[in-house]
Amino acid sequence: MPLIVQKFGGTSVADTQKILGAARKAIRAAQAGNQVVLVVSAMGKTTDHLIALAEELTDHPSSREMDMLMSSGEQVTIALMAIALESLGYKAVSMTGAQLGIKTDNSHMKARIRSISTDRMKKALGEGNIVIAAGFQGIDDNGDITTLGRGGSDTSAVALAAALGADECEIYTDVDGVYTTDPRLLPEARKVAQISYDEMLELASLGAGVMHSRSIEFAKKFGVAVHVRNSASDVPGTLIIETPESDTAVSGAAIEKQEARLTLVGVPDKPGIAMHLFSEIAEAKIPTDMIVQNVGQDDRTDISFTVPSADLPATLEVLQTVADEIGAEKVECQENVAKVSVVGLEMEQQGGVAKQMFRAISQQGINIDIITTSEIKISALVSRDDGLATLRAVHGAFGLEKAPKKIKSRPKQKSAPSLKRKLAESGVMDVSRLSGMEDILIETILLNRTESQISLANVPDIPGVAAEVFEKIAAVNIVVDMIVQSCGRNGKAIITFTVPRKSLEKTLEVTRKLAKKWKSDEPLYNPAIAILSVRGTGLRSHTELAYRMFKTLADSGINVNVVSTSERNIAITVDDASGEKGLKLLQKEFANEMM
């Protein structure tokens, strides 16, 4: 019998009428011959209210008790949903995380699922019940209730679908599907019919709150087809799958306003320092993004990165300790920032996405503090007040409001075997090889020795500078790969990027002219760098991964230059001479996680 998982978010179960509406959808699926598992969130804004209550008492509630408190929201909904179904004449049984057999680690408020035992659910389904599962919660080895992080019911739903081998996972919410950006922020946003796991994972991780990013890790790892749709209608929504039909250079844009920038100023420029910093941050399970390290001056460098605003106090604590230990000058932090990103699988093959994005932003007179890129995304950090205007400008620049045109000359690529197939072949599908369902899984580790690295230091920190650099380079048909711009100091910024070695001379010619015009420093360059990249799923959200890369290299005296992170790829540049050695070291370090 086919099995379907249906998840209803907070607004879709906000009152008893809506609960009845959701119950009717479940009944229809059951009448169509499916076994049905319903996953529900807390009603409406219940979770927010519960958090506010705790905050009335203290600024620092213990996270164990917060989990006890927050998980109560979902428990109310499952009971009401079961009562609703029974009132409509259907057999139903509600289950908490513990009753569902959802085992997690013990990191309260951001727990990861280790295993799901499906026996009890299967028995209840076999007896003709609709099973109603509490989203967002699990239980650790001590028997304590844990929660998966805000928005985590999506992850419960997809994880249950994976564990039960469901045929589909429907995510019912308050919009028609996944849009090119948040339709509540930009009314011109367009619903997309299909989107790939990689793009959705990246968008979700960069601020598209429609899906909890970790749910997409599950979907990709276990090949779960996810259908995001509106609980108030029957219109088809968005399918999240491995390979969508149409590809455009940019598939969506996202904004993250709840992010803060931190800078460690005046760090001694020695191997191992970044490693030390990020090991401490990884220890605290704080996800970092937009890591930029300035080219050293007077043997000192600055390291900047962003963290979710909620993690700012904890990060500041870590950073202050590290600053004292390593003799850094000071710690700076900026809270009023917003990160705007564009994401697209085809970006790699489409030179010029960067310049288009930077130009669109500069045309609004908006300055970019930090730029980071990866193969499938570009992010720009701007002041929070400029966030929405930046998002609108970028969304418009790529014509995301219009139905997509097919890319004309899409380079032929050998299609990679789906992750699900590869997993099945390597025997990982039963997760017996992994100690936990959410463990890191690495597909490959690559060494690229075809690039040069160029840095433009002391360029004016004003709108339009990055746009001009990448327009001039694109004008001579050079494809730029990794780009980072670090935040300005004394009105000056540093832009670093890589180009193919054969294009170095031409790039230097172009950039020397710009340096002269701006009276900035002569371009600094390294003619032969190596790029080491680790590719897999959910890499950025597994905070320890980047740290392990740094540590592995630093322990062997290899210095890391530029870092670029996405959920499916973490790349770093090192000296060419260290490339082969670095590759071997990383292969050894990650042998257990390789599929």
Kindly list the residues in this chain that would bind ligand ASP in the complex (CB under 6 A): 9-10, 41-42, 47, 73, 135-136, 150-153
**C-alpha span between 217 and 213 (Å, rounded):** 7
Contact flags string 147-186 toward Mg ion, x per CB under 5 A: ----x-----------------------------------
Residues sharing a CB contact under 8 Å with residue 370, sequence separation 6 or more, in sequence order: 261, 290, 292, 304, 306, 379, 380, 381, 484, 485, 486, 487
Nearest distance from C-beta of residue 237 to ligand ADP, angstroms: 10
Is residue 457 within 8 Å of 494, Cβ to Cβ? yes
Q: Which is nearer to ligand ASP, 9 or 404 (CB)?
A: 9
Please name which of 170, 159, 151, 156 lies closest in space to residue 36, comparing C-alpha atoms. 170
Minimum CB–partner distance for residue 97 and Mg ion (Å): 17
Q: Which does 136 bind (CB under 5 to 8 A by kind): Mg ion, ligand ASP, ligand ADP, none?
A: ligand ASP
CB of 148 to ligand ADP, least distance (A): 13
CB of 103 to ligand ASP, least distance (A): 19
Please report how close the Cβ of residue 41 comes to ligand ASP at its closest, in angstroms. 3
Question: Which partner from the list ligand ADP, ligand ASP, Mg ion, none does 47 bind, CB cut-off 5 to 8 Å by kind?
Answer: ligand ASP
Taking a C-beta distance cutoff of 8 angstroms, is the pair 35, 55 a contact?
no
CB contact at 8 A, 271 and 554: yes
Distance of CA 241 to the CA centre of its chain: 17
Partner interacting with residue 179 (select from ligand ADP, Mg ion, ligand ASP, none; CB below 5-8 Å by kind): ligand ADP
Q: Do residues 80 and 72 touch, judged by C-beta distance below 8 A?
A: no
Structure tokens given for 424: 């099945």
Task: Tell me whether residue 48 or residue 471 sits nearer to ligand ASP (CB atom).
Answer: 48
- Residues 123-152 close enough to bind Mg ion by CB under 5 A: 151
Sign of the dihedral through C-alpha 18, 22, 23, 24: positive
Tokens of 357: 């994005």
Q: Applying CB under 5 A, which part among 5-13, 282-290, 546-554, 586-594 lies near Mg ion?
A: 5-13
Select from Mg ion, ligand ASP, ligand ADP, none the partner in contact with residue 590, using the beta carbon and a kind-dependent cut-off of 5 to 8 Å. Answer: none
**Residue with the two structure tokens 């009152």:** 15
For binding to ligand ADP (CB under 6 A), which residues are involved? 9-12, 41, 151, 173-175, 178-179, 181-184, 208-210, 252
- Shorter beta-carbon distance to ligand ADP: residue 150 or 433: 150
Q: CB 150 → Mg ion: shortest distance, Å? A: 8
DSSP letters, 183-231, are TTT-TT--B-SEEEHHHHHHHHHTT-TTS-HHHHHHHHHHT--EEEEET
- Closest separation in Å from C-beta 241 to ligand ASP: 22
Query: Which listed option, ligand ADP, Mg ion, ligand ASP, none, makes contact with residue 135 (CB within 5 to 8 Å by class)?
Result: ligand ASP
Give the Cα separation of 222 and 424 in Å (integer). Answer: 9
Query: Which C-beta is closer to ligand ADP: that of 148 or that of 331?
Result: 148
Q: Which is nearer to Mg ion, 239 or 394 (CB)?
A: 239
User: Closer CB to ligand ASP, residue 144 or residue 174?
Assistant: 174
Nearer to ligand ASP, 224 or 267 (CB): 224
CB of residue 282 vs ligand ASP: minimum separation in angstroms? Answer: 24
First to last CA, the chain: 31
Site string for Mg ion, 226-265 (x = CB under 5 A): ----------------------------------------
Spatial strand order of the sheet with 3-8 comes to 92-95, 130-134, 35-40, 3-8, 168-173, 226-230, 238-241, 194-196
* Closer residue to ligand ASP in complex, CB, 153/367: 153
By beta-carbon distance, which residue lies closest to ligand ADP? 9
Q: Which two tokens stand for residue 480?
A: 């730029």
Q: Which of 130, 98, 128 is nearest to 115 (CA)?
A: 98
Q: Which is nearer to ligand ADP, 9 or 97 (CB)?
A: 9
Burial 131-156 (b: 16+ CB within 10 A, else e): bbbbbbbbbbeeebbbbbbbbbbbbb
What is the pairing mode between strands 563-565 and 569-575?
antiparallel
Residues that bind Mg ion in the complex, under the rule CB under 5 A: 9, 151
